[in-house]
Structure formats: C-alpha cells, structure tokens
Structure 1
Amino acid sequence: MKWLRRLLATVLGVALTVTAIITVTDATTWNSAYLMATADRTNLAQHISNELPAVIASYAPAADTQAAITNVLTPAYIETKINDVIPAFVTGFRHGGSVPNLDVTDLGQQLALSGVPVPPALAAITNSPQPLMSSHLAAPLQTVGGVSGLLQWLAPLVALAATVMLLLISDHRRFLALAQGVWLGSALTALAAAVVQLPPSLIEATLNTSVARPLAAAIRAYSQAIATDQSHQLLRYALILAVVGVICIVAHVVAGLIAHLMHHAKTKSESSPVD
C-alpha cells in the first residue's frame, strides 16, 4: 500500500504541474487577444519600425529606395501585419492549421506605384506571401500545439483520478499522501516558473543573421514580457497548490485526531463492566 500511495502522489504532482503549465500557455502563448495586447503594451510595432532601416539596408543599398520603403513601413503598417500574423500563428500551431505566412505584397505594390524600383532581393519577399518559418521548425511546433490541446483535458483528468484513488485508499495516511502530491506539484510548478524565463534569451541568441539581428532587441522585449506574465501566473498556481497542501496536512491531523478519539471511546466502552 505504501508504494501505491507514493506512486499516486507522484502522478498527482506531475499532473497538477502539467495542468498549470497548459492552463498558463493556453492563456498566453495560444491566445491571440493576449498576444496582440502584449504587442501593443510593449510597443512592438514602434520598436520594429525603429530598427527596420538597418534591415532594409541589406535589401536595398540605394538611399532613395531605403527612404521610400521606410516611409511605407510605418508603425501603423507594421501593427496591421502583426495583428494579421498572430491569429494565423495560433490557428496554424495550436489548432492544426497551415503554417502562417507574412503577406507584404502590398508593400511591393505601393513601391511600384510610387515609381521606386524594387530591388530583386526585396522583390522575392513582396511578390508572394512568405512562410514565417521553415518547415523543419514548423512541424515540431505544430506537434507541440497538438499535444498541448490533448493535455488540456487529459492532465486535469489524471489529477482528478489520482486524487479520488488516494481518497479511496483505506489508510489513515491518505491526506498525507495528498499533501505530498500537491506539494510536489507546487515545487515543479515553481521550477517551471523559473525555466520559462530562459526562452527570450535563447530566441535572441538564435537571431544571428544580418537581417534578423537588428530586430533581436524588439523581439526579446516582446517575448520577455510574455515570459514574465507566464512566470507570475505559474508562481500563483504554485502558491495555491502549497496552500492546498497545508490544508491536506490539517485534514490529516484532524482525521488522525478523530480516529484516535473514536478508538479511545470504543476501547473505553469495551472495558466498561456490563451490568
């Protein structure tokens, strides 16, 4: 029975952690409204607009062409593209849709209307919508999105099943085992809150191309804001689980006290002389 309690407590702790992580990512990473609001809160469009001249220079060496492109790529234009890409990102990777594209064909059209020659390197991007990432990166991310959708209902179900099984065990340590499982979940969730702060630095480190490097600061600030929100939410879940663990310990003590009093009363009644 002891090994079963430990197994169920471990399963409960892991399931609670997965539930917390899935709940937080579903409210942040896979939430279009949140992602767009965070982009607005961090002034992502403005930051990208400030850094784009360095990116444009690699495509269009001519100063007049750079000036024309910069005039078109205003913060408002960039914000429109961000608001187009984010829902496509969520649909493509969370709900099993196609790989999202960035459509800047209108940029090429505006440049053509203004009489500015579009450089060949830039024409390759403006002639047709371009995928946001290569297929060998998109496939794993789509898998993660699909697994996340599965765990959204599976993890809470496993946690509930482990809890019920622990409560059904005819053992006075059931509440203690519950506390151990919940506290394990609290500790793992707190660890996840720390780990989630790592991706922004990793993202910035991977932006090594001459085109992407100038945008690294803007992308890092945006991803850091998301990671901070996720970390705070995970810590909140960890605290809640820690409190639930304390409640389980109190329940264990109370149940033990009641069992002791009942045993004492039964022993006393059995030892009393019968008239």
Structure 2
Amino acid sequence: MRPIRFLSIAGTDPSGGAGQSADLKTASALGAYTTSVLTTVLAQNTCGVRKVMPLPQAMIRAQLEAVFDDIAIDCVKIGMVSDLDTARLIQEFIERYQPAHVVLDPVMVAKSGDMLVDRDGFHAVRDVLIPVADVITPNLPEAAVLLDTDIPSNHEEMAAMMPALGTLGSDIVVLKGGYLTGDVSNDLVLTPEETHWLESPRVHTRSLHGSGCTLASAIAALLPRHDTPIEAIRQAKAYMTRALETADRLEVGQGQGPAHHFHAWW
C-alpha cells in the first residue's frame, strides 16, 4: 500500500522544532510522504520569535499550484497563516481540490508567549480557515482568543467552551489541556456525535517547542489510516506523549526545546 501523501502549509522554524520542520518530521516519522508549501518565514528559536515575514501571495499560489497540480494529496495540515489574503488563497485550493482530511492548528501564540498574528490574522483563522477544516486543534489560550473569553483554569471550564467552539465551522475540535496544571494533561475532543476525554499523565519537561504543530501533524498523517477520527486522534496523542517523554535526550536549545519526533527511530 502506498504511503499517505501529506501536505504541510505553514511557516518556518530555523531551529527545527516547530512550524514546517515539526510538521515534516512528524509525518515522516509516522510513515507519510511529505510535501510542503511555505507561507511565512520566521526568525525564531527555542527562546522566542525575533521576526515574522509573510511570503508574497504570488509565491504562495505558485507553490500550491505546483503541489496540487501534480500530487494527489491525502491530508493537509495548516499552521502559520498571518493574513486574510493567504487564508483565502488556501481556502480556494482546499475547496478546489477537496483533500479528504484537513487539520488546522490555529497558530496565534508561540510557546514563548509571543503573538504571531495581528487582528487580520485572527480573522483569517476564525472566519476563513476553520470552516474548511475537518479538525481544529486549539490550545486553551487560542480557544479563548477565538471565543473572546477567559482562558479556562480547569477541566470543567474546558468542557464549557466546547459547544461554542463547535459552532465555528469544523467537524471536530481537539481542545488541548496542556496549559492546565496538575499531574494529568487531558484533551477534550468534540465530534458530531459526542465528546471524548483523552487522558494521559503530564510529562514534566520544558521541551514543548512545537508541540502544537506536532500533534496536529500527527492527527493529519494518521486520519487516512483509521476508520474513525477518534482512533487517529488517540494514536496521535500517544505519539505526542512519547515524543515529549524522550524530548530531553536531544539537548537542543537554551529555552523550550523541541519534542523528539524520531523517538522510535533514534
């Protein structure tokens, strides 16, 4: 059986742990053939974001055309999109080529706390990209921004957010609970049929750089291989947990280091 054909639409990370680097490493580790379209060049590392430069629309369009005209894409992971024009361009190609699985990581805040998008970028995510995504994977700060509300401080408040998140336009919401404290790191998944708590022990590590990119990419790469989305999401969370458990082996960077995407191989 041929490998899954995975497309990352995202920004760069020259330190290699987040953005398109994380997407391609994750999907490759899970057995997918990876392709990529670059939206934004970032100067960042494990300590923070230094500069953000969106690519010209003509270049993004040329990349999308080059990939979709030639390759039958099975799954798409969308990450860093900083403006409305880019979001509408991505929307155009998703609607034209109809890939079976589209996962959106609504990237708006870096792990360092740096805001990555302006107000137009926020509207690009909420109003343009979420409606064409099958799955969205907000963390708690991103969910709060999307709903213009406070960041949840416990699991009950997480659960209370889900009905409103479910009205934004995607079929499935994976609300990540990693920003809470305690010995568990539980995520809440909303599907058209029901909600599921995905439970796991909290991994005590500072190596969290790119963890959101990694989980979303794992979900995208695994969706075509499973009969139900919830099983793909469970497997992606298991992969993410192991990548965090082994992350400190890498000894990369002076800030929040990257997850260990190739923990099963190295």
- On whether the aligned pair clears a TM of 0.5, the verdict is no
- TM-score normalised by the chain length of structure 2: 0.24
Task: Name the structure with the higher strand share.
Answer: 2
Question: Greater CA radius of gyration, 1 or 2?
Answer: 1
- TM-score normalised by the chain length of structure 1: 0.24
